[in-house]
Amino acid sequence: MSLSTLIIFVVVAYYKKSQPQSNGFFRLLKSEILISIDNFDLGYNSYYFAGISSRHFYLGNFIATTSLLRMKHNFEDTTFFQLKFPIDTKLDWRRLKVRVDYPNVYVMEGTTPVMFYSRLPSLEMKETDLDKTFFTESIPLSSNSAILKVFDRRLEQYVLTKKIAKVPYNTPKSSILEKQVEGRFSVDGLLKFEPETSSLVYLYYYRNQFISLDTALNIVYKGSTIDTVTKAQINVAHLKSESSYTMSSPSLLVNKRLCLTPDFIFIQSARKADNEDQKSFKQSVVIDAYAIKNGDYQFSFYLPNFKKSKLRDFMIYNDRLVAIFDQYLCTYRLKFSSEIF
């Protein structure tokens, strides 16, 4: 190879490396859509959103799993509740997850498995009559029914199923989640419920797809995000000594978080669009909005990082967005029309 050819090769390689990576999609970014209202130091970074009502936030805690924090939207009147369980209750206390659909309170734990129910202001949790089915994720619909994500050993993949009290057998809906590379990581994702429209949405972590369902687990439609990753880019290794599976190399994460309102599906994306600059993308969380009725893309906006802290959860209620950045709870006003394009 001549010196001139080598120089050209190095220049071309450097040019390609210096160019921003093309991911093959663009965002309709709305500026000045978010107005900061207030922030509150929770003291710990172990809180998550259990629910929201017209007056209050409800926060669960991954460490103090039987506690519930309630505070008004303006951060006043902060109250800690201790959920009460029957004497001699045996379960994996570390894995408890609290959900509040005011005034209903649910506590789910999938390894025992069990679901408890109460109705505020009562804190006395009572075990429901749901049949024992191991699950990794759950959406309580009422004290008598829940949507579960379970691992089907016959199909070797995660499936969704609906459990109804005193019904001894449930039929998993194996046709909902579509296996690609394998049945664990390639179908992994988030399941959320929007009570006003009775809409369920399942969002895949590693591909640009989501599924809208009714509460009978009938598919309403299959949607696609604006991203271009249609197949999960993961490598899975089988650890025979532990009879388990793990990621053998870093995977390409497409979607991080999901939030539903009566009008929109809000998705925190992990990927930069071609019309975004790297600095803005790194300094903010980007959220894409889709119409909940048909999955059509509407717009995107930035949620700026707060004090260099990591976003752990977010919820949207009417014109309010509330986010947890590590130990900080932040509230914002959203300025956009609910009109669907």
pLDDT digits (tens, 9 = 90+) for 51-79: 999 899 999 999 999 999 999 999 988 99
Q: CA 144 to CA 16: how far, in whole Å?
A: 58
164 pLDDT tier (thresholds 50, 70, 90): confident
Q: Does the domain formed by 24-334 have CATH 2.120.10.30? A: yes
DSSP, collapsed to helix, strand or coil, labels residue 220 as strand
Q: Mean pLDDT, to the nearest integer, of 239-244? A: 53
**How is residue 228 written in tokens?**
């271009």
Q: CA 125 to CA 102: how far, in whole Å?
A: 15
* Better-scored residue on pLDDT, 84 or 2: 84
* Better-scored residue on pLDDT, 34 or 20: 34
Q: CA 138 to CA 115: how far, in whole Å?
A: 10
Q: Which long-range contacts (CB under 8 A, 24 or more apart) does 155-158 make?
A: 155/179, 155/183, 156/182, 156/183, 157/182, 157/183, 157/184, 157/187, 158/183, 158/184, 158/187, 158/188
Residues with Cβ within 8 Å of residue 225, at least 6 apart in sequence:
208, 209, 210, 254, 255, 267, 269, 288, 290, 297
DSSP, collapsed to helix, strand or coil, labels residue 179 as coil
Predicted confidence at residue 22, as pLDDT, reads 85
159 pLDDT tier (thresholds 50, 70, 90): very high
**330 and 336 in contact (C-beta within 8 Å)?**
no
The per-residue DSSP string of 97-161 comes to: EEEEETTEEEEEETTTTEEEEEETT--B-EE--------SEEEEEETTEEEEEEEETTTTEEEEE
Q: CA 70 to CA 68: how far, in whole Å?
A: 7
**CA proximity to 338, closest of 73, 33, 51:** 33
Domain ranges of the chain: 24-334
Q: Mean pLDDT, to the nearest integer, of 298-311? A: 93
Length of the chain equals 341
Predicted confidence at residue 12, as pLDDT, reads 37
Cα 283 off chain centre by: 21
Q: Mean pLDDT, to the nearest integer, of 137-160? A: 90
pLDDT value at 282 more than 60: yes
Predicted confidence at residue 341, as pLDDT, reads 53
* Residue type at 80 in one-letter notation: F
Burial of 122 (0-12, 13-18, 19+ CB in 10 A): exposed
Q: Which long-range contacts (CB under 8 A, 24 or more apart) does 210-213 make?
A: 210/255, 210/258, 210/265, 210/267, 210/290, 210/295, 211/176, 211/177, 212/292, 212/295, 213/160, 213/176
Predicted confidence at residue 18, as pLDDT, reads 45
Residue 119, CB-side half-sphere exposure with 13 Å CA sphere: 3
DSSP, collapsed to helix, strand or coil, labels residue 184 as coil
189 pLDDT tier (thresholds 50, 70, 90): very high
* Residue type at 192 in one-letter notation: K
User: What percent of the chain has a predicted confidence (pLDDT) above 90?
Assistant: 63
Torsion of CA 207, 49, 36, 267, to 10 degrees: 10
